[in-house]
Chains A and B, each alone.
Chain A
Amino acid sequence: MDWLFSFPHMDDASLRDLKKAIDEGFRGFTRAYGDGLEAIFEPLQHFLIWSERFMTQTPWPIILLLIAAVAWFASRNWKIVAGTVVTLLLIGYFDMWDDTMKTVSMIFVCTVLSIVVGIPIGIAMSRSDRVQNIVNPVLDVMQTMPSFVYLIPVVMLLGIGKVPGLIAVVIYAIPPMIRLTNLGIRLVDKDVLEAADAFGSSNWQKLKNVQMPLALPTIMAGTNQTIMMALAMVVIASMIGVQGLGQPVLKAISNQYFTLGIFNGLAIVGIAIIFDRVSQAFGARLQKHREVVHG
Chain B
Amino acid sequence: MGNKKIGGFGIEIKKLYKIFGPNGADCVKLVEQGVTKTELNAKHGHVLGLRDINISMPAGGIQVIMGLSGSGKSTLIRHINRLIDPTSGEVVIGDEDVVKMDAVQLREFRRHQTAMVFQKFALLPHRTVLENTLYGLEIQGAPRNRQVDRAMRWIERVGLKGFESKYPNQLSGGMQQRVGLARALANDAPILLMDEAFSALDPLIRVDMQTVLLALQKEIKKTIVFITHDLDEALRLGDRIAILRDGEVVQQGTGQDIVMNPADDYIANFVREVNRSRVINVETVATALNASARELKISVPAGAKLEEAARAMTLAGENEIAVVDAAGQAIGVLTLPQAVDAMVNSQVACSTPNAKKVA
Contacts and interface: CB of A to CB of B under 8 A. Distances in A.
Most buried by B among A198, A201, A213: A198
B125 to A, nearest CB: 5
Most buried by B among A192, A199, A209: A199
B168 interface: yes
Contact of A191 (B107, B118, B139, B176): B118
Contacts of A79: none
B63 to A, nearest CB: 18
B332 interface: no
B294 to A, nearest CB: 56
Interface string A281-295: 000000001111111
A195 B118 contact: yes
Interface residues of A, number: 24
A244 B337 CA distance: 98
A199 B176 CA distance: 18
Interface in B213-255: none
Contacts of B112: 200
A295 B111 contact: no
B125 A199 contact: no
B122 A293 contact: no
Given A194-B118, A195-B116, A295-B200, A202 B125 contact: no
A214 interface: yes
Interface in B171-194: 172-173, 176, 187, 193
Interface string A129-140: 000000000000
Interface string B114-143: 111010111111100000000110111000
B187 A295 contact: no
Nearest to A189: B122
B110 A191 contact: no
Contacts of B187: 199
A209 B81 contact: no
A233 B6 CA distance: 64
A192 B122 contact: yes
A66 B315 CA distance: 79
A256 interface: no
A289 B122 CA distance: 14
Given A289-B167, A291-B169, A294-B173, A201 B125 contact: no
B272 to A, nearest CB: 30
Given A200-B110, A200-B111, A293-B168, A195 B139 contact: no
B108 interface: yes
A205 interface: yes
B124 A210 contact: yes
Contacts of B135: 196, 199, 209
Contacts of A210: 124
B55 interface: no
Contacts of B139: 199-201, 205, 209
Given A200-B139, A213-B126, A294 B120 contact: yes
Interface string B190-213: 000100000011000000000000
Contacts of A294: 120-121, 173, 200
B226 to A, nearest CB: 15
A197 interface: yes
B125 A290 contact: yes
Nearest to A214: B126
A201 B200 CA distance: 26
Contact of A289 (B109, B140, B169, B173): B169
A213 B132 CA distance: 14
Nearest to B111: A200
B83 interface: yes
Nearest to B115: A199
A291 B140 CA distance: 26
A281 B290 CA distance: 82
Interface string A253-295: 0000000000000000000000000000000000001111111
A289 B114 contact: no
Contacts of A295: 172-173, 176, 200-201
Given A289-B167, A292-B125, A202 B107 contact: yes
Contacts of A290: 125-126
Contacts of B110: 197-200
A195 B122 contact: yes
Contact of B83 (A198, A201, A213): A198
22 contacts: A192-B122, A192-B123, A195-B124, A196-B135, A197-B110, A198-B115, A199-B116, A200-B106, A200-B107, A200-B109, A201-B139, A205-B139, A209-B138, A213-B124, A289-B125, A290-B125, A291-B125, A291-B169, A292-B125, A292-B168, A293-B176, A295-B200
Closest 9 CB pairs of A and B: A295-B173, A200-B111, A200-B110, A195-B122, A198-B116, A289-B167, A293-B169, A191-B122, A199-B136
Given A200-B109, A289-B167, 4 more contacts: A191-B118, A195-B123, A198-B114, A200-B136
